[in-house]
Structure 1
Amino acid sequence: MKILRVIASMNPKQGGPCQGIRNAIPELLKLGVENEVVCFDELDADYLGKDSFKIYAIGGAKNPWRYNSKLIPWLLNNFAGYDAVIVHGLWQYHSHAAIKAMRVYRKSKKASPKIYIMPHGMLDPYFQKAKERRLKALRNEVYWRLFENKVVNGADGILFTCEEELLLARTAFANYNPKKEINAGYGIQPPPHNNPNNKKAFAEKVPKWKGEPFFLFLSRIHQKKGVDLLIKAYLRLEKELSELPQLIIAGPVDHAYGHEILKLGETSENILFTGMLTGAAKWGAFYESEAFVLPSHQENFGIAVVEALACKKPVLISNKVNIWREIEKEKGGIVKNDNEEETYELLKKWLSFSEVEKSKMAINAIKVYQEYFTIAQAARQFLKGINP
């Protein structure tokens, strides 16, 4: 079987969907499934040639919709080489173009690949309700009426990463009538085993780290991630407790909101900003932490959450992280609402645990990963979904 992935960008800095693709492809290859990718990145992008699978970069896109006139001709010329097409993401030109191209192709061909849309949380009602997204929510309403409902309802199926995402998608827009809804699952490759190089790489990146376990936030620095709630809760605890683990915030801050967050955290010497961590330094951050924290307002899956679980780290998360039910059920972390008061309670509850309780939760954390979120399980569930 051969699958084509259609996505706006495969730049590793984008995280999310492109990282999910990179996680899945090696495991699918073990099952006899070959994958290739077409995207809108420039032909000289520095990441090209570093992956084990073929990426067709057809050049950059124009305007906020990411229009690229080369995509439809490329798809029409190449559909015949694939058994299935997976379109990753919505609200940009590539999803509209893929469905439009498939309609054209099917008019002249008796056989054509199945086409599926994987929205990666982009049908979550949060995006239509968040106060800071009013203009984008209005744009989405317009796009939905003009293009996106035809994409969603015209595909052979919609692939969701978990049951929670599937259920939430039904509540966002009128005229939502997909032909098929599929809980395709999601997972990550096992993390590398811990070794001294991880700790060394992390320490070099974070020279102010005291060498003791800490709270870790590792994600994009974005309004929806709740990092402001985390910092405010931490500052409140600092006033109440004489000793507190350091809070390490790993993520790019070279943008307007990042500067706001830097200013919010600069009053504490115990809040450290590392910028983006990759490779050994990233795994060092996971392994040297005592708990991973993400009080997000919306998180479709949360790859970093699962990476923490796989590193035997309890996760302190909001119930807007769509895999919270599995984590709470198996006691691999603590779950609260996504507001300042409950984020404070999230940290305080963890700090109230004995070392025995913390160790037990750490054991539960890796069990959650092994039971629900390995890439092998996800690959089998994915294939079952598109080949029932």
Structure 2
Amino acid sequence: MTLRVLHVSPYMAAAAGGPPVVVDRLVARAAANSADAHILTTTAYSDDSGAGLRRTYPDLTLLPHQRAALTGAGRAAVRRAVAQADIVHLHTIWSPLTAVAAAAARRQGVPYVVSPHGMLDPYSLAQKRLKKRTYLALVEGRVLRGAARLIYTAQDERDLAAPVVGHDRADIVALGADAPPGDTAGLRAAFFARHPDLAGRSLALFLGRLDDKKRPETALQALNLVRADYPDAGLLMVGTGPAEQALRNLTRQLGLQDAVRFTGFLSGQDKWQAMAACDLFVLPSRQENFAIALAEALHAGLPALLTRRINIWREITDAGAGIVIDDTDEAAIPTHLAAGWRHWLADPAARTRAASAAGQLARAAFDWDDSAARTHAIYRAVLAG
């Protein structure tokens, strides 16, 4: 029997980060798991009023914005989408869209599962704390209690969420990550053909939203320290976000203009070319549920510098594919980051071993086909339960 799945995400634009990627990959693998997938989303983060989303996903329900779910027409659209599903998968929380979809599912007797995507992490809960505490009491608590299952991406995510929702009804399914297409040497050559002034440098990669949460400024500060010993070290800052102008200003203040390249948001072949041009991946974030970009970098053979705030840090360090830095002292983070950076630059053989370990880990643990199969197995278990 074909399983009808409704994926509900407040946003599907690529610039929004991880959840849209997860939905996209699950939808792409629905047929292989004897399922038919539909998407309910909004135009949030979309710069073309959703036109691109309609081209990519012809069969979707698209609301003009998240709060549209609270209107009469929006609620009716949500109810229709839910009524056509055997099971609903809510991606993220703290959204009017997911709350209305959960309510519609409860009323219509359609079971639903929730992927919090790190939004029950203490760091996330501390942002707009009073507002979230109130919303949790009035709305989100019922959404979470009504879920047939809570699907986490890592053990750390489940444990960090436990004080709010407990350990019951919990499944852990690691996300997948894409692997680079084609020949790494060719991708690397294509990047340096476009950026010849960076050829010959040992480049680190920061790829993600340029936001205070990810502490991108510490990568610049660490580079400034590293260049005292390795003047050819450089950094690619791939992404956009509210901190971009401040980061550009800091780059000038530190005199790093020739060593740092801001590329803006990259996707597809451009993203893989940037990865192929780099020797390591830097993610000094305050909190990451999974970090798909990091897992993609592992597939590309990039050793990592990361904090324990990334929920897959144990897998990476156990495999010998990265170095965890101490971030308990905020002021010392650039120093610790620089020490790890120097380690990889000083010992190319160790970096080569870590690169091989990174690829092996990614292929074994972060595979979209496996992730989708396990997720669809949870759907069927819920319906059979």
- After superposition, the Cα gap between the structure-2 partners of 1:62 and 1:95, relative to the gap in structure 1 and judged at 3 Å, is closer
- The match for 1:109 is none
Cα distance between partner residues in 1 of 2:146 and 2:167? 7
Counterpart among 80, 83, 87 of residue 86 in structure 2: 83
Deviations 1:294-339 (A, max 9, x none): 1111010001101111111212111111111111111111112334
Post-superposition offset of 1:24: 2.6
User: What is the match of residue 74 of structure 1?
Assistant: 77
- 1:59 and 2:64 matched: yes
1:36/1:53 contact within 8 Å kept: no
Q: What amino acid maps onto 2:125 in structure 1?
A: Q
Separation in 2 of the partners of 1:242 and 1:336?
A: 20
What is the rounded CA distance, in whole Å, between the counterparts of 1:50 and 1:197 in structure 2?
A: 30
Identity among equivalent positions (%) equals: 25
**CA distance in structure 1 between the partners assigned to 2:125 and 2:161 by the alignment:** 12
Equivalent of 2:238 in 226, 247, 250: 250
Question: What amino acid maps onto 2:342 in structure 1?
Answer: K
Q: Distance in 1 between matches of 2:211 and 2:275?
A: 20
Give the deviation of 1:27 after TM superposition.
2.7
* Contact map agreement 1:218 1:250 (CA 8 A) in 2: yes
Matching of residues 34-183 of structure 1 within 5 Å? 34-41=36-43, 44-51=49-56, 54-62=59-67, 67=70, 69-106=72-109, 112=110, 114-129=111-126, 133=127, 136-171=128-163, 173=164, 176-177=165-166, 180-183=169-172
Q: CA deviation at 1:178?
A: 7.4
Which is richer in helix? 2
After superposition, the Cα gap between the structure-2 partners of 1:213 and 1:236, relative to the gap in structure 1 and judged at 3 Å, is closer
Gaps of 5+ in 2: none
**Distance (whole Å) between structure 1 residues aligned to residue 226 and residue 82 of structure 2:** 57
Cα distance change on mapping 1:336 and 1:195 into 2, 3 Å? closer
Equivalent positions of 1:362-381 (< 5 A) are 362-381=355-374
Alignment CA distance shift 1:128-1:62 (3 Å): closer
**Count of aligned pairs:** 368
One-letter amino acid of the counterpart of residue 237, structure 2: I
Any conservation in 2 of the 1:215–1:248 contact (CA below 8 Å)? Answer: yes
Question: What CA distance in whole angstroms lies between the structure 2 residues aligned with 1:211 and 1:67?
Answer: 55
Aligned runs of 1:290-301 on 2, under 5 Å? 290-301=279-290
Distance in 2 (alpha carbons) for counterparts of 1:205 and 1:10: 30
Return the letter of the residue paired with 1:182.
Answer: D
Matches of 2:196 and 2:261 in 1, distance apart? Answer: 10
Kept after mapping to 1: 8 A contact 2:192/2:199: no
Shift of 1:37: 0.3
Q: CA deviation at 1:345?
A: 2.4
Task: Report if the CA contact (8 A) 1:157-1:180 is conserved.
Answer: yes
Give yes or no for contact 1:10–1:18 (8 Å, CA) kept in 2: yes
8 Å CA contact 1:202–1:282 kept in 2: the answer is no
TM-score scaled by length of structure 1: 0.87
TM-score normalized with structure 2 length: 0.88
Q: Aligned letter for 1:336? A: I
Query: Match of 1:116, as an amino acid?
Result: V
The 3-state SS of whatever aligns with 1:72 is helix
Task: Specify every segment of 5 or more residues in structure 1 that has no aligned partner in the other structure, as ranges.
Answer: 107-111
Change (3 A) 1:9 1:18: same
SS of the residue 1:297 aligns to:
coil
Question: Compared with structure 1, are the counterparts of its residues 78 and 250 closer, same or farther at alpha carbon in structure 2 (3 Å cutoff)?
Answer: closer
Q: What's the Cα RMSD here?
A: 2.3
Match of 1:29 among 20, 27, 31: 31
- Corresponding residue SS for 2:181: coil
- Cα separation, 2, equivalents of 1:229 and 1:349: 17
SS state at 2:56 partner: coil
Name the CA distance, whole Å, in 1 between partners of 2:94 and 2:77: 20
